[in-house]
Structure 1
Amino acid sequence: MANKEFSNEIRILRSNNNLTMQEFADQLGVTKGAVSMWENKGVVPRDDILMRISKIYGISIDKLLGNNIDDLEVPEGKLSYIQRNLGKLDNEQLKKAENVLKVVFDDIFDDDEGEEDDF
């Protein structure tokens, strides 16, 4: 079964961990060809491999498979654009988004000065 979301999540996961396809494959006990099929064809591996990825990298299987749209309970229409697109960002892009949001939130919630944010 081909899954575009899985393909994207695996590519981002590998990239964020600065791993080549071969290094990623070695960590998971699979071939480089299998990783290539996941990233380029959206082929979803067996359940035991999904569980191994989840445990090693601390990512839910639901997120790997793209079932994360409803993770955040946001009222209909509110922040939906941001919510839909956060999962598409790599670590560098997330850091940039975080910095922008910190500036906005600092301006809105200026009464919390001095408290450390848990972003």
Structure 2
Amino acid sequence: MVNFGDRLKELRKRSKLSQEQLAGQLGITKGMISSYETSMRMPSYRILLKIALFFNVSTDYLLGKSKNDMINISDLSEVQKALICEIINQFRMGNK
């Protein structure tokens, strides 16, 4: 089973970011990124959501619950898709 730290490190390296660069993007310290990647700590719910939004993946993927790094929204109506976009935008605006 894949753990959160492994997934975070994989995504960070795929994006060619240092721990310091990712920390800056998320508004946390490099030490926090390091402790997540070594599984010494787990992020708060708020930080977990920020990481998911930053890498455009689901929290299930980050937590090892899903092998798919993308969210399938093909079965949703246009209204549902618009609502999800609105929620994501509100979250992003509230966490800047």
Taking structure 1 as the reference length, what is the TM-score of the superposition? 0.53
Match for 1:58 among 56, 59, 68? Answer: 56
Whole-angstrom CA distance in 2 between matches of 1:57 and 1:9? 11
Query: Where do 5+ consecutive residues of structure 1 fail to align?
Result: 71-119
Deviation of residue 42 (structure 1)? 4.8
Q: CA RMSD in A?
A: 2.2
| Cα contact 2:4–2:39 (8 A) shared by 1 | no
Whole-angstrom CA distance in 1 between matches of 2:51 and 2:67? 20
Identity %: 33
Structure 2 letter corresponding to 1:49: I
Aligned residue in 2 for 1:39: 37
Taking structure 2 as the reference length, what is the TM-score of the superposition? 0.65
| Cα contact 1:6–1:42 (8 A) shared by 2 | no
Runs of 4+ displaced beyond 6 Å: none
Q: Point out the structure with max Rg over C-alpha.
A: 1
5 Å-filtered alignment, 1:12-31, equals 12-31=10-29
